[in-house]
Amino acid sequence: MSAATLPSPLLSARNITKRFGGRIACHNVNFDLWPGEVLGIVGESGSGKTTLLNCLAGRLTPDAGSVIYETASAGTVDIHRLSEARRRLLTRTEWGFVNQDAREGLRMGVSAGANIGERLMAVGARHYGEIRGSAADWLARVEIDADRLDDRPTTFSGGMRQRLQIARNLVSGPRLVFMDEPTGGLDVSVQARILDLLRGLVERLHLSAVLVTHDLGVARLLTHRLMVMQGGAVIEEGLTDQVLDDPQHAYTQMLVASILPV
């Protein structure tokens, strides 16, 4: 692949800065995300990674900078210059967002099948039988028994809820998925199952994704490229295995050296 034949970036962040009062949550962040690429954002609590993710996903408005997205059919758009309605339509039809807490990403009062079907209806599906069929198919893909289709997620375990949230996000075939600590707060065995699932889906569906995590093991397993954040700034970036095996910055070296061996 020569430089000339490479596609254009799917998402470009330019000088993203966000303050909360006098405190800078993220400062002057720049990157390009290429199609099929999974970018990890790592750093400790309070480093600004979730704020950055929310700015990228259009959930928070940055104080400065722009987020440029290459849409499926309408050219490039600046996410924060779109009307609220256009942005909502875009995020529903082309994007997914997996929250750390599945309760925030699911509708807890309706059935598992409805949680998945709702996303399909948002992108224009109207045939009830087909929607139900897709919902059942996706439950199977995230390893939830088909007989739970009509149960509400309130009756699901934490790991099942997270898998349901993943199904709800991926059923509509998004081009870009944002994930905020998708395995945070889950038991390690449940975590391994979700990581395995995400890894397979990302690979098979050729997804592009931005993943926030404080877990460097998760980052190694799921991402191609890493940005390390400290105090709101990106202090190091590069290939995931290179950043983790040959960290350059003092803070990254400290993070990598702090992993407990098993």
How many whole angstroms separate alpha carbon 92 and alpha carbon 168?
Answer: 11
To the nearest whole angstrom, how small is the minimum distance from the Cβ of residue 246 to another protein? 4
Which residues have a Cβ under 8 Å from the Cβ of 130 and sit 6 or more positions away?
Answer: none
Torsion of Cα atoms, 135 then 138 then 144 then 149, to 10°? 0
Q: Where are the beta strands (DSSP E) in the chain?
A: 11-20, 23-33, 38-42, 64-70, 76-78, 95-98, 176-180, 208-213, 225-230, 233-239
To the nearest whole angstrom, how small is the minimum distance from the Cβ of residue 162 to another protein? 16
Question: Which CB sits closer to another protein, 61 or 157?
Answer: 157
Which residues have a Cβ under 8 Å from the Cβ of 262 and sit 6 or more positions away?
Answer: none
To the nearest whole angstrom, how small is the minimum distance from the Cβ of residue 183 to another protein? 11
Say if residues 80 and 58 touch (Cβ distance below 8 Å): yes
To the nearest whole angstrom, how small is the minimum distance from the Cβ of residue 209 to another protein? 15
Beta bridge partners of 33: 11
To the nearest whole angstrom, how small is the minimum distance from the Cβ of residue 95 to another protein? 21
| Helices H / strands E in the chain, number of each | 10, 10
Question: Which CB sits closer to another protein, 192 or 259?
Answer: 192
Question: Which CB sits closer to another protein, 59 or 224?
Answer: 224
Question: Which CB sits closer to another protein, 157 or 242?
Answer: 242
- Which residues contact another protein by CB under 8 A? 1-2, 6, 34, 37, 192-193, 195-196, 199, 203, 220-221, 224-225, 238-239, 241-242, 245-246, 248-250, 253-254, 257
- How many CB atoms lie under 10 A from the CB of residue 152? 16
To the nearest whole angstrom, how small is the minimum distance from the Cβ of residue 92 to another protein? 29
Question: Which CB sits closer to another protein, 7 or 173?
Answer: 7
Question: Which CB sits closer to another protein, 110 or 250?
Answer: 250
